[in-house]
Each structure stands twice: as C-alpha cells, then as structure tokens.
A = this chain, B = another copy of it.
C-alpha cells in the first residue's frame, strides 16, 4: 500500500518527502488575529471539532513580529534591505518584507557578511532582539544569509537614497511593489477592497459576480473591446456555415463588460441587495490622469428603493464607513501617500453637499469667465467644472442629482416633478471629480420599452425582469481607483492600480 494518510512523514516506513513539520502557531497580525478569533467565537465555530495540522513552517511576517517579539528573544527575519549604513564595526540595515510600512533595524558585525551587501538585496537574518540607543527594538544579528543581491550597475533602476518621479517608477511595474510609496498604496488598496466586501456584507448585500464577457453593451456608448480566440485553428473548428469568425466561439460577438449593472438588476430581482467589485473596460483613446482601459468598479443594486434620497444616504454611508475603516487600519500607509491625514479627511465630519443639475448649471454659467472652457449644455459638465463645483460647495463630496433625460442612458427613471429629468446622480469628490454614478431604474414596463434603444432584441431578458415580479430598484457604480485617488491623494490613476493598462500600454 503506497498511499499516505495521516502523518506525511511516514510512507512505507520511509521518510522521503522533504517536509519539515513545525508546531509553531500560524503567524498573524495580532489585531486581525483578535478580530478573527472573535469572529469565530461569534459564529460559534467549534475550533477543536475539526482536525487541522498546524504545521505552517513559513516564516512570520515583519508586521506580526514587530508586535509580538520581546527584548532578549531569538528571532529570524526575512526581507529586503531598505537602507544601509556601514560603520567601523557594524552594518546597520533597515529591513522590510512589505507586510507593513515599518522597518526593522538590524545590527550586523562586518565579519558576518561575506561580501558587500547592497540596498535591495534579499536576506534572512537571525539574532537576539535588543534595545537600540533611541529606545526602539532592533536585532543584533549573529547570522546573515543573502538570497539575492541587487546591484544598480547590473541594471537595477532604483539607486539608494534617490527619489524618483511616479512616471519613472511606472516604467518598472515589476519592481514597483518594492518601492515605499507604492507598497503603501498596495496595502491600502488591499484593505479598502476588503472593507467594501465586509461593510456591504454587514448590510445584507450578496456578492454576485457579474460576467466579464458579455453580449450586451450596457452603456451603448460603443467604447468596447471585442474578444475572440487567438487560435485560428480553434476558430475554424467552431465556425458555423453562416457565421462570422467573431461569432465562432460564443455564437455571438462577445465584448468585455463596461458595467455589470443590468446583470445585477437581474440578481436584485430575487436577492434584493446585491453588489460586485470587479474589473471593467473601456476602449477609449484617453491618456488623462483619470482614465484606464481596465479599471475596477464597485457596483450595487438594491430592490425596493423608491426615492433618490435613499440612494444618496446609501452612498454617503458607504463612502464614509469604508474610509473610516481604511484610516483606522492603514493610517501609516495613507500618511505615506497623502501626507496630512488630519487635514485631508475633514469631509468625514461633514454632510455631503447636494446640488440639482439645474442649480449646478446656474453656478457654472455665473462663473463662466473663470473656466478654460465655459459650460455649454451640449458638451456636458467637464472635469474642470466638476472640480469647481466641489470647491464651490466647500471642498466636500457633492452630489449632482436630477439630470436631463436626453444625456443619460435609457434605463433611468423619470422625475415625477419634471419628466425632462431623470433620477440620476453623480458624486463629485475633491481632486478627482466624478467618483460615483447612480440612478433609480425605470421599472414601469411600458415606459421602459418606450425608452429602449432601437436594437433591443438582445434586451428582452431585461424587460422581462419588469414583466414578471418586477420591483423598483436603484443602484450605483463607484470607480474603485478613483476612490483610492481620493483617499490617498495620488494624482494619477495609473499609480493606484498594480498593473495599469491604457492606450499604447499593456506591459507584463
């Protein structure tokens, strides 16, 4: 019998798997660990009920070690050298493993290191924790192993102690997670996405992942990417006699999603509150600091919402609650990005402003001489106008509501008071402009059919949602990268996403 169940180390009497078991507890960020334990208690999980082998021998992250280790203890840390000073008898190394913005100082006798160490090298070091002259914990190393060195003259693009522009750093996407500011951004981004999930779950939303590939163009704007197999052979083998190559794989042209809203509406007609946080695409030749070809949107749809004010409340609460969670858990990282945390989040203490479209229009017309391009109804509200309106309202997030029907998509609900308007909203925020768009949806079947675009055979399923057990729904889409720009103060959207894609750029 050759199978191995139970103890992996005993196989046919042999111990032939290179597996070193340890009985260490899992490493954990203690704060999150506490949260997680409490969570388990609340959920009445019988932790001892299941057999789990606790043999995770990967090393603790620095974030966990910094909180748990005491002076006098023996410790091993693994990470990259962030800065380096060579003195008469010792190297002083600052080590980071990217799990936190904090670094840990290692004091290493020169004799320990067989060759010249450089900033950026990866090391494993062991020693004893002691108190440094400035009162902080540091490691007195008695062992240093270098995994890999990092030498600027061999082509590494970042020299120690030099500052680089974000444009320069962006040229090296694969090394960017090693840089201080960008790793702070990545930790903040990770936390923010988690808090969107946990917050919405706490409010009864169900995460329904909408498709990336779709045969609908939800916004009807035509700025879409088309998808087909790369293999000509596969296309040929699937091609129907009367079909085109573009339709061979799916029996229809397939596009990358521009919005999951219509799909979320289908899900809300059964689950009431649904959302998705996922990638979205626009084939737009825009090189602005606010556009990407691939970006993330948080979209939510809520059944039984009949008033635009309810939707405003829902969005304002979401933005504030998630931001509070981010600040309270990532303050050091947010600080690395935005600098003045205290000053930058004054808006959290205030109610968001609300303007109707007509009010905004009047403000813009009154102030037209200060704009590069004055407001003209047919050209819409420009970025310059958006930012002015936010300033005008005291530099706090500002809702624009009740938009002209003709400049908004077909699915929005007419205003009762003025049928030339629809119950639509944009949320404009300081430094960014439009961050959220939303509306009440037209749930009257007859009205909806009247408003449908001409070619609408493909949307029969959408009208059928109203024909059978239809309900009022409302929803919104929040640009996740724009939210991150707002919270981190980072000026270019390409610097708030790990691997940005924009016209003429799709590296890696």
Could you tell me which residues of chain A, from 233 to 277, have a CB within 8 Å of some CB in chain B? 234, 237-238, 249-256, 262-263, 266-267, 269-273
* Closest partner residue, chain B, to A246 (CB atom): B230
| Cβ-based interface call for A181 (8 A) | no
From B34, B177, B254, contact of A42 by CB (8 A):
B34
From B52, B316, B328, contact of A53 by CB (8 A):
B316
Given the complex, which residues of B lie within 8 Å of A294, measured CB to CB? 211-213
CA distance A254 to B173 in the complex (A): 17
| Cβ-based interface call for A170 (8 A) | no
Q: A20-B309, A350-B51, A504-B250 are in contact. Are A150 and B266 (CB under 8 A)?
A: no
**Which of A83-91, A373-381, A390-398 interfaces with chain B?**
A390-398
| Cβ-based interface call for A369 (8 A) | no
* Closest partner residue, chain B, to A458 (CB atom): B508
Whole-angstrom distance between the Cβ of A485 and the nearest chain B Cβ: 16
From B50, B353, B355, B461, contact of A174 by CB (8 A):
B461
From B186, B270, B348, B353, contact of A177 by CB (8 A):
B270
Asked if A36 and B6 sit within 8 Å, CB to CB, the answer is no
Asked if A18 and B204 sit within 8 Å, CB to CB, the answer is no
Asked if A272 and B79 sit within 8 Å, CB to CB, the answer is yes
Asked if B285 and A238 sit within 8 Å, CB to CB, the answer is yes
CA distance A49 to B346 in the complex (A): 11
Could you tell me which residues of chain A, from 196 to 250, have a CB within 8 Å of some CB in chain B? 197-199, 201-204, 206-216, 222-231, 234, 237-238, 249-250
Can you report 26 residue pairs joining A to B where beta carbons are below 8 Å apart? A18-B307, A20-B310, A28-B203, A45-B328, A50-B320, A50-B348, A53-B316, A55-B309, A57-B307, A61-B204, A98-B270, A98-B271, A99-B206, A155-B467, A177-B269, A194-B197, A194-B207, A211-B506, A212-B212, A212-B281, A212-B294, A224-B229, A230-B255, A249-B503, A251-B505, A461-B508
